[in-house]
Structure 1
Amino acid sequence: MLYLWIAAASAASLLSMAGFIHVAIRLGGAGRALGEAMSRAPLLDVLVAWFTVMPGIAGFFAGAQLGGNGSWWNSLGHALLGALAAIIGQVVAMQTWVFLHELANPAARKGPRILKVLNAKVGRVRNHGAVWWTALAVPVFAIVRVAELAMWPMLVLLVKFPRYKQGEWVNVSRHKFSGLVGHDLIWCLYCDWMTGVWSLGTEMLRNVESFWCPIRFSSTAKCENCKIDFPDIEGGWASAQSDIAEAARIVDAKYPAPNGDNSWFGHPARLTVNGRDPVGQ
């Protein structure tokens, strides 16, 4: 019974927050401003944590308390059951929100939808099953986001890597797209957030790679596969057939960048007048 309370508390907290957001963004100019703030980092980070990882964490600790003063193994078992109960509450909350959101938007629900097309293409069970399977990656993206927030400022301080306006990367906007409701909307918001987090992480890694090891891979296939995400492979890294003297020469020639930081070789700020940051960076 106590685990049911954990599940219920999890669902209630998520539905309450969703309700607050729906009401707040309709409160005139102040509500619209709050809505814009909630759609981008750093406030978006708080909301994403609230809806994704916090229920499981809270359920874990609540479950551990149910273990009382028993063995650590017993406490761990209760903690895992608590986390599972909270996750079940998350699923219930999401499905409830999807039902209510589609109910409130009958025209969009009955009209053309991505959901309907994909269900017809691959089957409803396989389509939904695949999306739920990708949810297993949410903790990974959450860890990546925490690493971006916790580690990058120190690298900026220590080795003058470029600063980034992270809200220009980590934001969501697909809720503004006409006709997205229910499953379509929640899936698109998930992809919206996930893509921003991953793209920012890739951008940060471009700086790391070019700064500490600007050497092409000896595998031609790997160079071909990676050059889109790491343009410096063809834009200045030392040949795999050269030597350490060439790599050292490249590092000496490329750093610091014209604007004084240590950005990757193809960073847009290197290509603008006086090293100014381009719009959106």
Structure 2
Amino acid sequence: MIVVFVTACVALSYAAAGLPGHLNMISGLAASRRHPGILYAIQDNAGDGNVYMLDATDGSVKGVLIVQHGEEADWEDIAVGPCPDGDSCIYIADSGNTKHKSSNVVYRVKEPDYTFTQDIPLTGKYHYTWNHPMSESLMVDAAGNVFILSEATGTGSTLGQLPSSGWTSGSQAAVKTVLTLPITTANKGPLAADISPDGKQLLIKTLDHVYVWSMPDMNVKKALSHPGKAIHGYHPEHRGEAIAWSADGHGFYTEGEGSNEKLHFHSFP
């Protein structure tokens, strides 16, 4: 299958000062719905079970969420979406294979009332099975449906959906493979994905490219059945594995891995 993409343009609005030195393996970003100007960030392979609250303008750490009973083997992506009770929740995918086998777990916690360092309890823990060895990308749509993307080189990455029953069954749930993505990656990917806060746009990031889909009916499967737009003007970071829509949906943040990597904001003209 040959996929031809049209392009959409972005402008790099700013690159914040380098993140603190210990945050050198950022694997996921997500914009808070409750706290304007705050991004949630996780590190892969850190093993600390922490979610870092970053100032979106300068990259400084405002506080740390210490996830209770949230073990970390290889956290790969993070998303913000609705909780079952209608509140706002943070979703964390422990879906990497650093230890040669993915934990296949998604954690869910409520967004905190405040941004200082605090313990935060789990409100959900989802164990799943899938016929793919790992995923580096997590998305949550406006209805609270959770999606993951399998890792592949070239073509063959697939979209999987976690059945909602898995949050309450207490046993492993089988991920439903929905479709094969209409993208080609030169390296293993996708590495990150995010759905906009209004639920009407979708981003997927590979090592060197970012793609965007319009999703006016908020239907992820329908949107990804067609090619998206390749973002023109995005300049890849070193080992960049993180992407997040801004809270207003007017642009997105990216972040690379390594010492003194900068937080980048890209705006849509």
TM-score by length of 2: 0.21
Instruction: Flag the structure with higher strand content.
Output: 2
For the pair shown, which has the larger CA radius of gyration, 1 or 2? 1
Greater relative CO, 1 or 2 (CA 8 Å, sep 6+): 2
